[in-house]
Amino acid sequence: MKKQDKPAIDRPDPDFETRSRAQDQPSLFATEDLIIPDGIRSYRKAVSAIHVVPVNSSHTLHTSKLFDACILIAQLDFKLRPRDQVARIKTERISITFETRITDLVRLAGIPGKNYKRIYEDLDFLFEMILKWNVLDEDAAVAFEMKSHFFTMLGIGVGHKRGAIRFSFHPDVMDIVLEPSNWATLSLKAMDGLGTLPSYALYQQTFRYLGTTAKCTASLPTETWIDLLLGPSRYVKTDPATGKKTVTSYGDFKRRVLNDAITRVNEAKALNYTLRLDEKRAGNRVSKLQFFFIPKKQASLGLPLTWPEDGLKLLTNMGFSEAEINDMSQSDSYEVIAESLTRLKAAEVRARERGKPITSRKAYFSGILSRVSQGATGADLEIDRVEEEVRIQAEAKADKERQERQREAFEKHQSDVSTQRLFAMDANLRDALFARFEGTPEGKKARVFIDKGWTPRNTPAVASFKNWLKESNNEVYLSLLQEPEDRSFDSWVAWRLEALANQSP
């Protein structure tokens, strides 16, 4: 690799060709070759709290993967360090040098082949690359607009060190790398088939939301999604005076970039979900984008083949379905699952000692998994808070199930009352309405049921008729629901409670 005079400086290490930006603070700890465990199959990627975008628009798929792999190496290194060392590094803003083999780096990046000359060039690009990122407050407002180089130092091994790589980050960049609450798991196996930078970025930025209850991403401004998928581009213009961003040629971006990225992600065989785009408009302008996860209709990929049988059995015994375990495998590595199972066992022992055994192992495990997947360890797991959250979730679940049962009872009440009044109305009027319905497209679809005769017991035909009546003649439909408790769920609940009170001795 060619050395450069500016901003590079030479370091007194004959085993590496080194490029560096001046650092006043030397590394506190000695560096060693990093052994990457074969079991590692996931790493953490920035989520919405901190958006990282390369200023240089020539960022490619390879450099993006190397970018992520270097972050993984740094995180693995810090997981092996004592907590007091990590705390000192963060508080004193100490610069750390990381070392790995180029073969491990390429494997972690998921880059096929052995074109190491290209890898060295891409690493050289990362050394020159400038990052900018926004740090957001709790209210999602931008607190700081930051800018820095990704690497402060890059060393390429020579002689007996040939094939070794050394690098270090600026402390501000390291803050992003080490903050566990700002990272989500990304499965390496899904990289196959994502042959473009936008599709790779789309996968990264969407599938971190797979574990959400709503099964959808956050609704972010269109310009934010464009930046996340492309970095700086002609599709987003920034006002130099105000810094305000505006989207230009969204239709062209969607046609040339977004649609192709969605197609590539949706065709990835390793993923059990496809993405559905939801465009939110402000007038005639698409102001925000959101993605929903849609389960694939093809046969399930089955339980993760690389997960041990005993681990799968534990999850199944806890009540997790095959679909839930599939989702788990795409959002967390088995190393994270195994650690969470160990934490659950320890928590169960403590709970028994307190005389308060865990009643919902599934909910409890989910709470622990959520924390472990965010990087929490030891006391950071806050077991007491997990217990409280599980209790709150159990109460919320019970309340939701109770409300659903009440809704079902209210809908049955509406159906019974409206059917009773339908067949109690004037026969000529009722038969005329039936005749009108039979001549509509909806009536023709229900012909197989209508042919069985118009009776209160012919539920499918009567239900189809009432749905049509509600849309075509709402006044007549409402005449079938005369009382307040027939029309309003809240009124029905109050009416039912009053009836129960009157029945009490």
Count of Cβ atoms closer than 10 Å to residue 241 Cβ: 6
Residue 13 pLDDT greater than 90, yes or no: no
Phi, psi (rounded to 5 degrees) for 453: 100, 150
Instruction: State which of 381, 412, 437 marks the end of a domain.
Output: 381
Peptide bond into 7 cis (omega under 30): yes
Give the percent of the chain with pLDDT over 70.
Answer: 76
- Residues 74 and 150 both lie in one domain: yes
Residue 250 pLDDT greater than 90, yes or no: yes
CATH number, residue 214 = 1.10.10.10
d(C-alpha 129, C-alpha 52), whole Å:
12
Residue 43 pLDDT greater than 60, yes or no: no
- Residues 288 and 259 both lie in one domain: yes
pLDDT digits (tens, 9 = 90+) for 306-318: 567 788 888 988 8
Instruction: State which of 160, 181, 202 marks the end of a domain.
Output: 181
Phi, psi (rounded to 5 degrees) for 47: -110, -170
Domain-embedded: residue 7: no
- Residues 80 and 41 both lie in one domain: yes
- Residues 248 and 371 both lie in one domain: no
Domain-embedded: residue 352: yes
- Residues 98 and 211 both lie in one domain: no
Which tokens go with 330? 């795409």
Positive/negative CA dihedral, 143, 148, 152, 154: positive
Instruction: State which of 181, 208, 228 marks the end of a domain.
Output: 181
Count of alpha carbons within 13 angstroms of residue 247, beta-carbon side: 21
Which tokens go with 438? 């039979």
- Residues 120 and 45 both lie in one domain: yes
Give the residue carrying structure tokens 């027939």: 486
Give the residue carrying structure tokens 């192709």: 260
Q: Tell me which residue range forms the domain holding 200.
A: 194-298
- Strand order through the sheet with 142-149: 50-54, 130-136, 142-149
Residue 285 pLDDT greater than 50, yes or no: yes
Domain-embedded: residue 23: no
- Residues 173 and 58 both lie in one domain: yes
- Residues 38 and 157 both lie in one domain: yes
Residues whose CB falls within 8 Å of the CB of residue 182, separated by 6 or more in sequence, listed in order: 46, 47, 49, 50, 176
The residue among 346, 339, 341, 345 whose CA lies nearest residue 376 is: 339
Count of Cβ atoms closer than 10 Å to residue 270 Cβ: 15
pLDDT digits (tens, 9 = 90+) for 78-114: 877 887 888 788 788 888 899 999 988 888 777 877 8
d(C-alpha 274, C-alpha 267), whole Å:
8
> CA-based angle 203:207:208, to the nearest 5?
120
Positive/negative CA dihedral, 5, 9, 11, 17: negative
**3-state class (DSSP) for residue 214:** coil
What is the helix (H) or strand (E) element at residue 397, kind and residue range?
Answer: helix 383-422
- Residues 260 and 217 both lie in one domain: yes
Count of structural domains within the chain: 4
Residue 54 is given by DSSP the state E
pLDDT digits (tens, 9 = 90+) for 116-146: 889 999 999 888 887 776 665 555 566 777 7
- Residues 155 and 217 both lie in one domain: no
- Residues 271 and 318 both lie in one domain: no
Count of alpha carbons within 13 angstroms of residue 310, beta-carbon side: 3
Average pLDDT over residues 451-457: 91
Residue 434 is given by DSSP the state H
DSSP assignment of 367-383, as one string? HHHHHHHTT--GGGG-H
Distances (CA, A) of 210 to 78, 110, 243: 27, 22, 33
Average pLDDT over residues 411-418: 92
Q: Which residue did the predictor score with more confidence, 376 or 337?
A: 337
**3-state class (DSSP) for residue 56:** coil
Question: Percent helix, strand, coil in the chain (nearest 5)?
Answer: 50, 15, 30
Domain-embedded: residue 13: no
